[in-house]
Amino acid sequence: MELYLIRHGIAEAATDDIKDEERQLTKEGRQKTEKVARRLRKLGLHFDLIVTSPLVRAKQTADILMAAGLSSQMEECTHLVPDGHIYSWVVNWLEPKNFAPNTQLALVGHEPCLSHWAEIIVWGEVKERLVLKKAGMIGVKVPETGSVLGCGQMFWLTPPKYLL
C-alpha cells in the first residue's frame, strides 16, 4: 500500500469569531492547492480513497483533490484531527489487511501529526526531522502484511513550490 500524507492548504487565522475547526482556506491557499492538485493529476497520481480530517480547511483541501480527478471516493475520519493519535488510527483503521494490495491511499490532515506519523511509520519514533509545508505531501510505501510501524519506505517528500 502507498500512503500519501497531504497537509491542508493555507487557511485563515483563528479569531474570537472563527473557531479552529471552522477555519477556511484563504484565496491564496485555495489557488495554490488547486495548482498542486492539477500537477499531481498530470503526474499520473490517482488515489483509491481520500481520507480527510473533518476540519473545514482539510475537507476543503480534499474537495479540491477530488475536483481535480485524483479520486472518486472520499471519507472523513476523526482520527485525522490535529490531536489525533496514530496508534488508535493505525490499529483500528489502517491495518493493511483492511485494504487490497497496492492500494493508493491519501490522507488529508494537519501538522505536526502528519509528519510525526510518517516518522513513526518509517522509523518507528518521532524526532521532528521532516518539514511538511501546507499543501505539501509525504509518500510512504507500507508493507502489505504485518505492522506498518517502523517498516515503511519513504519515497517522496515535497513542498508545494516544487509542484507548481
How many angstroms separate the Cα of 128 from the Cα of each of 113, 115, 117, 119, 135? 10, 7, 10, 8, 18
| DSSP letters for 8-43 | ---BPPP-SSS-GGGPPBPHHHHHHHHHHHHHHHHT
Q: Is 122 in the site for a second copy (CB under 8 A)?
A: yes
Angle at 85 between CA 123 and CA 129, to 5 degrees: 35
Distant-in-sequence, close-in-space partners of 18: CB < 8 Å, separation ≥ 6: 12
Q: Is 154 in the site for a second copy (CB under 8 A)?
A: yes
* Contact in structure between 30 and 37 (CB atoms under 8 Å): no
Q: Is 161 in the site for a second copy (CB under 8 A)?
A: yes
Nearer to a second copy, 39 or 49 (CB): 39
Closest CA to 49 of 90, 110, 17, 6: 6
The least distance separating a second copy from the CB of residue 126, rounded to whole angstroms, comes to 11
Nearer to a second copy, 26 or 158 (CB): 158
Touching a second copy, residues 123-152 (CB under 8 A): 123, 127, 129-131, 141, 152
Nearer to a second copy, 97 or 127 (CB): 127
Total site size for a second copy, rule CB under 8 A: 19
Nearer to a second copy, 56 or 139 (CB): 139
Q: Is 102 in the site for a second copy (CB under 8 A)?
A: no
Q: Is 153 in the site for a second copy (CB under 8 A)?
A: yes
Q: Which stretch binds a second copy (CB under 8 A): 12-20, 21-29, 97-105, 120-128?
A: 120-128
Rounded to an integer, what is the distance from CA 147 to the centroid of its chain? 20
